[in-house]
A and B are shown apart, each in its own frame.
Chain A
Amino acid sequence: MLEIAFKGSKNYWLWIVLLLAVIGAGTIAYINQFTNGLMTTGMSRDVSWGFYIANFTFLVGVAAGGVMVVIPYYIHDYEKFHRITILGEFLAVAALVMCLLFIIVDLGQPTRVLNVLLYPSPKSILFYDMLVLNGYLFLNIVIGWKVLEAERNQVKPPMWTKPLTYLSIPFAIGIHTVTAYLYCGLPGRGYWLTAILAPRFLASAFAAGPAFLIILCYFIKKFTKFDPGWEAMQTLAKIVCWAVIANLFFFLCECFVVFYSGIPSHTAHLQYLLFGYHGYHALVPWMWSGFILMTLGAIFLIIPKLRNNYTLLPVSCAMIFIGAWIDKGLGMISGGFVPSPLHHVTEYAPTGNEIMVTLGVYATGFLVLTILYKLATTVKEEIRG
C-alpha cells in the first residue's frame, strides 16, 4: 500500500520537499542542542520545562481528539463518520509521533532513554504515560492500516480489529488523563494541583483535535477528489463547539475556586497569566487572546447560520485550535512554573534554536500525516472510481 505515497502531483512533491527542508533545519538545530546541552533553550532552573513539553501536552490532546470520530461511528453507528474515521485515526498517529519526538528532544540525556524500560518505576506517572502513549500509537497504526487495506481490497476488515477499536477508546481518554496526572499530582505546584485538570485537558483536546480535522477536511477537498462530506464536518463542528464551551466552563470553575478562596500559592499563577505578577506580564496578552479566540470560536459555531457558512467554518476552527494551543501550550506549562516554589519570578521564552527544533518535530509529524492521508484519500478515490 505504501507505494501509493511515491506517486503524486508536482504540488505533492513540492510540499514533501518543503517538509524535508524544515526537518533538515530542525535536525541541525537539534545537533546543536545535543552537543551543547539544553543551554540552547530558554529554559532555566525555575522554569525547567518549556516549549517542548508544552507542545507535547497540546499534541497529546490532538491525538486523543481522534476518538471523537471513533465513538460516534463505532459505538453509535453514526454512518456519516464512516469516511472520516480513518482520518481521525491517522491524525492521532501523526500527533503521537510528534509527542514522542518532543519527549526525546526534551531529554538531557536522550541516549539513556531506554533506562525507562530497564528500570521500570511503577510509582512514576511518566512510566504510565509511556505505556498509554505507545499503546495508543500502536492501536491506531494497526487499526487504521488494516481497515484501509480491507477497504482497498473491498473486503471486510479482519474480525480482530473490532475489539482493538473498542480498546482504543479508553486508551484515547487514558493518554490525556495520564498526561494531566503528570502535572496535577505534584504537591508544590498550585496551578496544576486541581482535580479539574484532567477533565479540562480532555475538553480542550476534544475541541482542538476535531477542529484541526475539519481544517484538514478542507485541504483534502481542495487537493484530492475525495469528499469527506459536509454533514460529517457539521457534526464535527458541533462536537468542537460543545467541547470548547466545556473547556471554557472548566476554566471559569478554576478561576472561581482560585480567586474566591484567595490562597496565595494558587492565585499567584493565574494572577501572573491573566493580569501580571510583581510587574511581570509576558504572557498576559497571549492568554487573553487565547481565551478571546476560543470564546469567539464557540459563538461562531453555536449559531447555526454561522456554523453552516462554508468560508467561516475553517476560520472558527482555526481560532479554537490556536486558542487551545495558547491555553494549553504556552500558558499551562509556563504558568505552573511562574512564580517558582520560592515565589521568585523567572519568565520564560523559547530561543530561536528551540523554536527551530520544534518546527522540525512538527514538520516530521506533518510528513507522517501527509503520507498517511495520501494513502487514505487515494484508496478512497480508487474504490469510488
Chain B
Amino acid sequence: MIKSRRSFLKVAGIAAIGLGAAPAINFAASNSHGTGEAVMTKDPEALLARRWGMVIDTNKLDEQIAQDIVKACNNAHNIPDFNHEVDKEKYPDTRPVNKKQEIKWIWEEHFNYAFTDKEDEFLAEKFKNLDFLVTCNHCKNAPCTQACPTQATFKREDGIVMMDYHRCIGCRFCMAACPFGSRSFNFRDPRPFIPKINPEYPTRTKGVVEKCDLCAERLARGEQPYCVEAGQGAIIVGDLEDPESEVRVLLNENYSIRRKQSLGTQPSVYYVV
C-alpha cells in the first residue's frame, strides 16, 4: 500500500535487526493487495522554502508586541507556565516547581544577554531597555543536530531544525551543544502547568527536549507562524535562498546582525537594528 523508499528501508532495517520483525513484515506483505497505492504527500497549500529564515525588525518591536508574541507562541504550543496555579482536583499530587527548570521557545532578553559577543560599554540608549526576542536560530550548521545520538533533532531539507519527540531519549547533549540556550528539557510532566491545552498541538511528555520548530505544522497548512501573526510586522518569516522574498528584501535594505556569528553556526534568524 505505502510505497516509499523510507518505509521500505525502515521495514528492511527493522527486519534485519530482528526487532519487532513480525508486524513489520506483515505490514509489508499487506502491500500486495488493495485497489491502488497509498501515497503520502504535502498539502497543496503548504508554504515551501529552500531555507526558512526569520527577520526580527527591532524598530517595530515594543514591550507590548514582544509580550503578545511570546504569549501567542506559548498558548499555541502548550508550553507550561510554572507560575500557573495547578488544578488540585485534576492533578492532585503535583509537586512544587523549580522555576529554573522552565520551558521557553521564544522569550525576551536584553541586548547584552542576546548578543553576548557584542558587549558594548556605551550601548545606544534605545537598546538598553529594549526587549530583544530570542529563539532557536535554525542554524545552517546546527551543532545540536550534530550532537544528537539518535537523530531525534535533525535538519529538514527546508532548513528547519526539527525535534522528533517520539525518538528523543533525553540525553540533553543537544542542550550542551546549543550556543544560544534555545533548548528546554521537560524535567517533569508539563500538563498540570498548561493553563489551557490547545487541542491542535500535542503537549510533550516528561524526559524529552523541546524548542521552537518555526511552526512547521502551520507552514504545512499554508499559514504563517504564530509569532509572525502576533508580531504586527515585527517578525517576518520567509525563504532566505530566494532573493525576491520579503526577508531578503528586508535584509538588503537594512543593516542586520545575528547572534554569535563568530561561531560559524550560521543562524537563520536576523535582527534588523
Interface set of A (CB-CB < 8 Å, partner B): 36-39, 41, 43-46, 48-49, 103, 106-110, 112-113, 115-119, 121, 123-127, 130, 182-183, 186-189, 264-265, 336-337, 340-344, 346
Contacts and interface: CB of A to CB of B under 8 A. Distances in A.
B167 A39 contact: no
Contacts, number: 157
B9 to A, nearest CB: 12
Interface residues of B, number: 57
B149 A127 contact: yes
Contacts of A187: 143, 177, 179, 263-265
Given A44-B100, A186-B176, A343-B116, 15 more contacts: A36-B95, A38-B170, A39-B98, A44-B101, A45-B184, A48-B172, A109-B168, A112-B168, A119-B150, A183-B176, A187-B143, A187-B179, A188-B260, A264-B116, A341-B181
Interface in B106-131: 109, 112-114, 116-117, 119
A108 B263 contact: no
Given A187-B265, A342-B116, A45 B95 contact: no
Interface in B125-161: 134, 143, 145-152
Interface string B178-198: 111100111111000000000
A125 B146 CA distance: 8
Nearest to B101: A44
Contact of B180 (A119, A265, A341): A341
A8 B13 CA distance: 49
A115 to B, nearest CB: 4
Contacts of A49: 172, 176
A44 B207 CA distance: 13
A245 to B, nearest CB: 30
16 contacts: A45-B103, A46-B100, A48-B172, A48-B176, A108-B170, A108-B185, A109-B170, A118-B17, A118-B150, A119-B152, A123-B145, A124-B173, A125-B147, A186-B176, A340-B181, A342-B134
A264 B260 CA distance: 13
Contacts of A45: 100-104, 181, 184-185
Task: Indicate the member of A44, A110, A117 with the most B CB atoms within 10 Å.
Answer: A44
B170 A342 contact: no
A43 B104 CA distance: 16
Contacts of B152: 115, 119
B178 to A, nearest CB: 7
Contacts of B148: 121, 124
Interface string B51-94: 00000000000000000000000000000000000000000000
A87 B78 CA distance: 54
Contact residues of A: prevailing secondary structure = loop
A188 B95 contact: no
B10 to A, nearest CB: 10
The 5 closest A-B pairs by CB, nearest first: A108-B170, A188-B179, A108-B207, A44-B100, A37-B206
Contacts of B205: 109
B39 interface: no
Contacts of B95: 36, 39
B101 to A, nearest CB: 5
A284 B184 CA distance: 28
Contacts of A130: 149
B175 A48 contact: yes
Given A342-B116, A342-B181, A115 B169 contact: yes
B224 to A, nearest CB: 27
A112 B187 contact: no
B19 interface: yes
A182 B146 CA distance: 11
Contacts of A109: 168-170, 205, 207-208
